[in-house]
Amino acid sequence: MKDHRLPKIALYGEIRTGHRYRGAPKKRYKDCLKKTFTVCNIDHQNWSDFAADRSAWRLISSKGVTLFEKTRRDTIKDKRSRRKARAASAVSPDPAFSCRLCSRACRSRIGLFSHERSCRQRGHSLPS
């Protein structure tokens, strides 16, 4: 194909906007397609052959997007459950660091110091 043809310009030309890592070569539209095909589990070597048959391409791309979406949702759900489990099993505050003004338990001595200062600013006083 000649260099001035639009399909060749689109597939092999550089993208003017977008993100690239420092020192990395500029991305082309073809690079973005390759990444998307890989994520959707579509063979990026033969995608043009699949795209030639419209019904097959719709089926392949639909399955790929469905698989990607399912994987994405599962990943998010797993990440959330791990975050919730980590929060539930968090270390309980040491009772040695409890506020003398309001009896709130703090996790560290510096946290207790900061908390007591804010309690005094709010008007709490030491119990008699």
C-alpha to C-alpha distance for 37 and 52, rounded to whole angstroms:
16
| Cα dihedral 19, 24, 27, 33 sign | negative
Measured from the Cβ of residue 40, the count of other Cβ atoms closer than 10 Å reads 19
| 106-119 pLDDT, tens digit each | 888 899 999 999 99
| 15-46 pLDDT, tens digit each | 666 666 778 777 777 778 888 888 888 888 88
C-alpha to C-alpha distance for 27 and 33, rounded to whole angstroms:
10
User: Residue 112: CB partners within 8 Å, gap ≥ 6?
Assistant: 97, 98, 99, 106
